[in-house]
Amino acid sequence: MLGAERIDTYLPLLQGKRVGLTINQSSRVGETRLIDTLLARKVQVVRAFGPEHGVNGQTAAATDVDNSEDPQTHTPFISLFGKQVKPPKEDIADIDIMVFDMQDVGVRFYTYISTLHYVMEACAESGIPLLLLDRPNPNDGYIDGPVREANCSSFIGMHPIPIVHGMTLGEYAQMINGQHWLKNGIQCNLKVITMQHYRHGMGYTLPIAPSPNLNTQRSVILYPSLCWFGGTIISDGRGTGTPFQLLGAPSLKDKYPFRFVPQPIPHVAERPMHMRDTCYGMDLRQISLDTIIRSKKLQLKWLLSLYENYPEKAHFFNGEAQNGPDTVIHFDLQAGTTRLRKQIKAGLSENEIRKSWQDGLEKFKKIREKYILYP
């Protein structure tokens, strides 16, 4: 039972209050939008705030989202992706309590945890309590990847955590508070409405796509191992009907027989990598998802193989040729470290690279234990 479905538990906390919502298209109670559920119960919703992709999940990645109004309820929607990423003081000044409810996928570079950070920070600064309705993490069966280093801090890597962190948003919010990651070490007055009958690693198929390119369960499961290709010359399948399930580039024609052609898709992939060019590479649609899930690790082998086979290695990592090998580039921000790129270029094996992650992972797991809400 999802946090949002436990209406009798949290409705008394909202009655008689002026309520703000941080929501998107995944914020539902069964088939009904959370905002409609609350309004039907006479909750006074003042305004809503939306993350990357907008409150309706219909804006392409890395595209600014404008403020808008819900056509059904006429509730003002304030964008937290574009000109601002943090709720302005004037937009929360008349709010008594903020509710946060959206579906995350458990990956450091998925920006909903960054939005969570800034909403918590704004609430803490204005003395507004935050009520978080918890949801499952579809990638919480493992913890893996390099822990983000300080020089690779960005909106797609705000905290020193590995790529796959194995926490629900409720647990993660507790970690943000407990580790004093908000500005000046302030803490948010946080209450998590936990799920019932949930345990880590049980698996969860998302009923609604959390963002335009995570349109299938396969994309959600493969996403942690494919998103860093966005910092390379390799297409990750965006601009096709199966994003985050294909890998390729035009220059790999002599290496792989499989091919695909990325096309612009309105509101999903406006200008995808290698748009309208034939890419050659890997088809991950046939790989057993159970095998990927049971491996309990990031699939580093695809990155190593494509780098090894790419003929123009100086151009494999976007921006490296122009800025030099010592500059932090987009791939590093996604990986959370400059070390991975250097390890790949030096020809280190997968085992050698994974070994370099272990100390950071063990330290993170000990910190994580303090904030876990589910077995």
- State the pTM of this model: 0.97
Share above pLDDT 70 across residues of the chain, in percent, rounded to a whole number: 100
Q: Using pLDDT thresholds of 50, 70 and 90, give the confidence band for residue 325.
A: confident
**pLDDT at residue 180 above 90?**
yes
Share above pLDDT 90 across residues of the chain, in percent, rounded to a whole number: 98
- Domain ends where: 204, 233, 254? 204
Tens digits of residue pLDDT in 292-320 = 999 999 999 999 999 999 999 999 999 99
Instruction: Return the structure tokens found at 350.
Output: 């997968």
Tens digits of residue pLDDT in 82-95 = 999 999 999 999 99
CATH code of the domain containing 339:
3.90.1150.140
Both 153 and 235 in one domain: the answer is no
Both 274 and 307 in one domain: the answer is yes
Instruction: Return the structure tokens found at 351.
Output: 């085992």
Both 152 and 235 in one domain: the answer is no
* Residue 27, domain member (yes or no): yes
Both 89 and 38 in one domain: the answer is yes
Phi, psi of 57 (to 5 degrees): 65, 30
Tens digits of residue pLDDT in 12-49 = 999 999 999 999 999 999 999 999 999 999 999 999 99
Side chain identity, residue 28? R
Both 226 and 323 in one domain: the answer is yes
CATH code of the domain containing 147:
3.40.50.12170
d(CA 93, CA 91): 6
Token pair 């945890």: residue: 113
**pLDDT at residue 324 above 90?**
no
- Number of folded domains that form the chain: 2
The confidence score (pLDDT) of residue 22 equals 98
Instruction: Return the structure tokens found at 101.
Output: 């409810």
How far is residue 254 from each of residues 133, 214, 258, 345, measured CA to CA in Å? 50, 30, 11, 21
DSSP string across 202-238? S----SS-SSTT--SHHHHHHHHHHGGGGGBSSB-SB
Both 165 and 195 in one domain: the answer is yes
When pLDDT is averaged across residues 100-129 and rounded to a whole number, the result is: 98
The confidence score (pLDDT) of residue 142 equals 97
* Residue 153, domain member (yes or no): yes
Tens digits of residue pLDDT in 213-262 = 999 999 999 999 999 999 999 999 999 999 999 999 999 999 999 999 99
Both 248 and 271 in one domain: the answer is yes
Both 129 and 155 in one domain: the answer is yes
**pLDDT at residue 326 above 90?**
no
**pLDDT at residue 162 above 90?**
yes
Q: CA triplet 164, 165, 167: central angle to 5 degrees?
A: 130
Please answer whether residues 250 and 259 qualify as being in contact, where contact means their C-beta atoms are separated by less than 8 angstroms: no
* Residue 374, domain member (yes or no): no
Both 289 and 149 in one domain: the answer is no
Domain with 171 in it: 3-204
The confidence score (pLDDT) of residue 367 equals 98
Instruction: Return the structure tokens found at 264.
Output: 């612009």
Both 232 and 345 in one domain: the answer is yes
Closest CA to 159 of 131, 182, 191: 182
Can you say whether the dihedral through the CA atoms of 136, 139, 144, 148 is positive or negative?
Answer: negative
When pLDDT is averaged across residues 348-365 and rounded to a whole number, the result is: 98
